[in-house]
Chains A and B, each alone.
Chain A
Amino acid sequence: MATVDQTGIPNRLTRPRQAASDVPEWISGIPVSWWVVGVALLFMPVVAGNFVLFQIFGWAFILGMIALSLMFLGGYGGMVSLAQMSIAGLAGYMVAILGPSGVQTISLFWPWWLYIPVAILIAALFATLIGALAVRTEGIYTIMITLAIAAAFFYFTRQNYTIFNGYTGFANVVPPELFGINWRRPIPFYYLTLACAAISFAVVVYVSRSPFGLALQGVRDNPRRMAALGFNVFAHRVFAYTFASIIAAVAGILMVWQNAQIAPGTAGLPAVIDILVIAIVGGLKRPIGPFIGAFIYVILRTYAPDILLALNLPGDRFKLLIGLGFLAVVYWSPDGVLGLWEKWRSHRQTRGDPLTGQGGKS
């Protein structure tokens, strides 16, 4: 034990406690920058206008959550699933079908405490089914199969009129008026999405360090060894789909409330690809990545016409901008924007005397 301490490797058991603080370790362990971001997000409605709160932050949190579910599968499970948008879409559809909507003939007008859990449950069942199919394949095959499933979902919702109301979908899908608050107003909606995003972020961080999350990462790195150690590889992978789908389903419900409507195009192929773009641009290695990616995407999407017009290009070529940006990120930094940031930081830290390696920051 003593030899370990001398080498300076941080050891959880022997690390000296900070005597002065009564704050538990899990709070003092959070870096300062996180506190700053947290406080800034909490007090955002003081400075930001309604449009920014509802259209930019609200939308970015929702997209970030769907991309987070993809990040969980891709980053910790090694399974890049393109069906996450479809799962979100299904949850949104279920809310519109089971709860209130403008289509009187189909919607069942259940109370909110029933239709929200049932919608999430159905989405989770659907995702488990997808998972059970998709985990039979690996790597790029998974992408192909989940893409095909997402397309099937899109075409099915467009063709089916008895359940999904076909091409038109559902309009007037509004959140229940809980506690006398209209949750579609910008400030309540901002806090609603912020809370959901923060909870799903925390849950993903927690699960990634739980026995299940660690086993899942083991399965990602070496499935055969994990199987030899007695872990059920298939069950871990399928359950990862189920878990990720709950985040996507919550985001899907928020999405349908934000737009107040849902149609096949909500989970269409461009939207499916967009989620992948967001997750990749943000970075698949850390749970914060998808939210960063979502912010970049939403800001680009909102302000791209202005940027493009400033560059003397037609304003509706925003997909081109997204596509080129995505290509640039994949080409130069496979770990996304976060990867770029880390590269830059480690570059700065290791700068010093090239011979002795001293003079750097650490």
Chain B
Amino acid sequence: MSRFIQRNPVWSVIIAVAVAALVWLVVAPWPEGLEAAIGRKRIFLNALFNGITLGALYFLVASGFTLIFGLMKNVNLAHGSLYLLGGYIGYEFAEATGSWLGAFVVVFIIVALIGIVLQYVVFRRMEGEDLRQTLVTIGISIVLADLMLWRWGSHSYQILTPDFLSGPVTLPLITAIRGEGELVYLTFPAVRIAILVASIALGVLMWLALNRTRVGMLIRAGVDDREMLAASGVRIQYVFILVFAFGAGLAGIAGIVGGTFQSVSAGEDMRFLLASLVVVIVGGMGSIFGAALGAVLIGLAEQLGSVYAPTYSVVLTFLIMALVLAFRPQGLLGR
């Protein structure tokens, strides 16, 4: 942190001012002039929180993608299909048993197993051939997409929120002050708050696992130089399988999360594949922090964009990507 400030004093000031402005926008009640200029504070806060929770969902999908990429240099373009498959299986399980939390466990295991099969049967055989691996993942995504379309059709499915998380919660953030001086607080769906908290917890856990455990050390060493790691006697294939299984499983449970606060339907696989691509390009390949930063940026851009510039919200996302590519091709936090 302090090194960053020393090296880039101008950027640090810009970032600090932006953060301060954002905090003020969130905490303080807006003056009349501001509300007249850009609309009600409630709309802004809702878009902001929706953006952050969407960012949490993107983080779930993209972190697995970036881990797999960072370690194995394998652009898994079937990642979106794993997401969608997770959503469908989660829907089926939640419908059959009524257990929302149970679906997470089941889906994680099933999709992780599929990931293991993919890594063990397909990718292990073409190690080092990046382009061919990528093409194979495209083929797999075509086949999986059609198989899922066959099984589940083109309807959209909504995974029901469990009772203990349904309904709104009131957050201690003022949206407006009524005439009599009464404060109006922001309400927000409880399930989204839960998912946000869970994603942050997961991100912290992943960071701890990567930086404080032996397996994490192996993975980091593999990201830096997998040949040396293999040469020093680590059975790198096991590390690969572990990471692939974990990344796939994360994509699967992200499918349940996505199915709960949006819906599961054919075509979502491509949407989330693209979201994770953009997130990872913006944040930097192979970096968990980068994925988190990119996910929040893209989520915010999408939601704020859809409120304040509806026609161009998608373009805004890709504009961010183009800008990052033009000025920092390795991504914001990439090396």
Contacts and interface: CB of A to CB of B under 8 A. Distances in A.
B132 A334 contact: yes
Given A137-B325, A145-B325, A324-B143, A152 B315 contact: yes
A147 interface: yes
A133 B325 contact: yes
A144 B281 contact: yes
Given A133-B326, A144-B75, A326 B130 contact: no
Interface residues on A, range: 35 or more
B278 A273 contact: no
A277 B143 CA distance: 13
A159 interface: yes
A103 B140 CA distance: 40
Interface string B129-171: 1111011101110110111011000000000000000000000
Contacts of A301: none
B147 A320 contact: yes
A300 to B, nearest CB: 13
Contacts of A323: 139-140, 142-143, 145-146
B147 to A, nearest CB: 7
Contact of A327 (B140, B149, B312, B313): B140
B318 A152 contact: yes
B277 interface: yes
A136 B329 CA distance: 7
Contacts of A334: 129, 132
Contact of A148 (B143, B145, B274): B274
B68 interface: no
Interface in A109-137: 133, 136-137
A90 interface: no
B84 interface: no
Interface string A329-353: 0110010000000000000000000
Nearest to B325: A133
B253 interface: no
B139 to A, nearest CB: 4
A136 to B, nearest CB: 4
B186 interface: no
Given A140-B75, A155-B314, A159-B314, A273 B142 contact: yes
A140 B134 contact: yes
B136 A144 contact: no
Contacts of B317: 152
A168 to B, nearest CB: 16
A165 to B, nearest CB: 13
Given A319-B142, A323-B143, A156 B274 contact: no
Contacts of A156: 314-315
Contact of A330 (B132, B285, B314, B322): B132
Contacts of A196: none
Contacts of A320: 143, 146-147, 150
A148 B135 contact: no
A140 B314 CA distance: 23
B62 to A, nearest CB: 12
Contacts of A182: none
A327 B143 CA distance: 9
22 contacts: A139-B130, A140-B134, A141-B281, A143-B75, A147-B277, A148-B281, A149-B318, A155-B315, A273-B138, A280-B135, A319-B142, A319-B149, A320-B150, A322-B142, A323-B139, A323-B140, A323-B142, A323-B145, A323-B146, A324-B139, A327-B140, A331-B136
7 smallest beta-carbon distances between A and B, as pairs: A323-B142, A152-B318, A327-B139, A323-B143, A155-B314, A319-B146, A320-B146
Given A139-B131, A148-B318, 20 more contacts: A136-B325, A141-B281, A143-B75, A143-B134, A144-B280, A144-B281, A145-B321, A148-B281, A151-B318, A152-B314, A156-B314, A159-B314, A317-B146, A323-B146, A324-B139, A324-B143, A326-B142, A327-B136, A327-B139, A327-B143
